[in-house]
Chain A
């Protein structure tokens, strides 16, 4: 097989682009949802209410100890059962949709650890200063601590998002058509693995490499402002 033919890539570019769009959608949804959920978990973990602390740390430790592929498959199968429990009728939600939920829930565990160290990185004096101004605990968190924590941790949050972007490829486990899944499906039909997989690898590399360089630059800028 010496005659490589990248025509298979150009001929199927629309299908690949659709896949890439899905990958990006899952990434963006899971990033936003994951950061919100993760921040809540971080606040719970740092709160003085024992049950909340325990819940948050159990949540985080659980999802950080299980293989993502396993969670993807398990949620895909279990989610409809849980929904049926509430609605009383079968609720097939499909592979593509279940991934949005899975990634949000899964990544929240990782984002929460980042936000937790971000919150802890904000000087204690800031909390005292907030209280001294008459803010409630909630106001101090919302107006003083979280904005600083978020800014300090922005590069790390974005780096985690690049990891997330790569991890979406694991929806292969439930047959959803992400970027990699699209390439794989074309390969199964046209039997051009070299061209397809190489293209996928190169595109992933270009996107992730560029993003990680941008994050590095951002990091340098934040370091200077601080």
Chain B
């Protein structure tokens, strides 16, 4: 193979005056920003939706179920294009214009990726709550808790502990999924990857480096959540293996 290896190209100056490794670092920053922002949106909204789907209210269950159905059955890239190019047209004219011209791309991308991921988090939260013994809700109610208080003090704290491993893998996935936001103009890591390949043709070096960075990000997320998992572990309790009543 007459491929010309050149690891030093990372330190060459690109045509915007920055060095290629600086492109990568900047892309990494955007990847982290989109991912963490979207994760926050997803955790918040996903929790609300997950709880809604376990309530006795048929309306709330229907809303939650419909959300999950819609957001799981349309590809992420199509969803992002909808948020960027379609939804603004359906907003009141001034608001639509503001979204298109003033609202930073980053925010729209975070919302798009966040709402997509929320559907997955909602599934996890729902299954976590349903994994708890029915008696826990009864015990809360019997002490005089309102339905909401049983969620707040009894059911959610345990549900989160149960689904933390599943949420960990969703959180690791979000870095990978954030790569799709390049298509709507976010200058994140994958965008820079593509760009650098076009400029330099050093496909193999950049592929190795960018792959390693995605690995690293997912690993860091994994460590953070493993730490949370350890901190929140309940003495004397094996989560996941709780016998059914």
Contacts and interface: CB of A to CB of B under 8 A. Distances in A.
Residue from A162, A205, A209 having most chain B Cβ neighbours under 10 A: A205
Contact of A69 (B73, B79, B89, B180): B180
A184 B183 CA distance: 11
Contacts, number: 100
Contact of B207 (A1, A78, A194, A204): A78
* B interface secondary structure, majority: helix
Interface stretch (A34-42, A135-143, A144-152, A195-203): A195-203
Contacts of A65: 172, 176, 214-215, 218
B73 A70 contact: no
Contact of A200 (B78, B177, B197, B215): B78
A76 to B, nearest CB: 10
A67 B193 CA distance: 12
A169 B80 CA distance: 12
Interface string B1-22: 1010000000000000000000
B73 A167 contact: no
B59 interface: no
Interface size class of A (residues with CB under 8 A): 20 to 34
B203 A78 contact: yes
A201 B82 contact: yes
A52 interface: no
A30 to B, nearest CB: 15
Contact of A1 (B72, B77, B89, B214): B89
Nearest to B3: A81
A74 interface: yes
Contacts of B1: 81, 84-85
Interface in B100-146: none
Interface in B151-190: 172, 175-180, 182-183, 190
A29 to B, nearest CB: 18
Contacts of A69: 179-180, 182, 190
A73 B183 CA distance: 13
B85 interface: yes
Interface string A61-99: 000011111100110011001001100000000000000
Residue from A66, A69, A167, A169 having most chain B Cβ neighbours under 10 A: A69
A195 B166 CA distance: 37
Contacts of B210: 70
A208 interface: yes
A12 to B, nearest CB: 17
A212 interface: yes
A169 B82 CA distance: 14
Interface string A42-63: 0000000000000000000000
Contacts of A194: 85-86, 89
Interface of B: 1, 3, 69-70, 72-79, 81-82, 85-86, 89, 172, 175-180, 182-183, 190, 193-194, 197, 203-204, 207, 210-211, 214-215, 218
Given A166-B74, A197-B82, 17 more contacts: A65-B214, A65-B218, A66-B176, A66-B211, A66-B214, A77-B203, A78-B203, A81-B1, A81-B3, A170-B180, A180-B75, A184-B81, A193-B86, A201-B78, A204-B78, A205-B74, A209-B73
Interface of A: 1, 65-70, 73-74, 77-78, 81, 84-85, 162, 166-167, 169-170, 172-173, 180, 184, 193-194, 197-198, 200-201, 204-205, 208-209, 212
